[in-house]
Amino acid sequence: MIAEYWPVLLFIAVAAGLGLVLLAIGMLAGPRRPEAEKLAPYECGFEAFEDARARFDVRYYLLAILFIIFDLEIAFLFPWAVVFKQIGLVALIEMALFLLLLVVGFAYVWKKGALEWE
């Protein structure tokens, strides 16, 4: 049983070893000239406006989660579209129901005001 995992274990060992070797070469051969300007934090070329641990509005996270959910649901359409001619009418009805649920969910989120940004 363990013999079947040797290629995977070998791949992991080689990848980890190569990563460590490359990091060591970079640390040993790379220049070390720390200056105040290099060590200063910046955002897009400007000095930082606030503390890095500033709190974000919870609506930002809600909008991000909603984007991920709807984006992943739309990603399910691509494999379906590729094999559309082979799957027939039943799959068309199933995809219509799926899209209907997606639209109902979007309408619910919109009605609750989760997409409003003030």
Q: Is 113 exposed, middle or buried (0-12, 13-18, 19+ CB in 10 A)?
A: exposed
Q: What is the model's pLDDT at position 18?
A: 98
Q: Give the mean model confidence (pLDDT) for residues 4-21.
A: 95
Question: So what's the pLDDT on residue 14?
Answer: 98
The mean pLDDT value for 50-71 works out to 78
Question: Please, which pLDDT band fits residue 52 given cuts at 50, 70 and 90?
Answer: low
Residue 48 has pLDDT above 70, yes or no: no
Sign of CA dihedral 92, 95, 99, 104: positive
Note if the pTM is more than 0.95.
no
Q: Given this model, what pLDDT does residue 58 score?
A: 76
Is residue 81 over pLDDT 80? yes
Task: Tell me the pLDDT band of 22, cut-offs 50, 70 and 90.
Answer: very high
Q: What is the 3-state secondary structure (H, E, C) of the chain?
A: CHHHHHHHHHHHHHHHHHHHHHHHHHHHHCCCCCCHHHHCCEECCEECCCCCCCCCCHHHHHHHHHHHHHHHHHHCHHHHHHCHHHHHHHHHHHHHHHHHHHHHHHHHHHHHCCCCCC
Taking residues 24-46, report their average pLDDT: 79
The confidence score (pLDDT) of residue 49 equals 67
What pLDDT is attached to residue 45? 65
What are 45-50's contacts with CB under 8 Å, separation 24+?
none
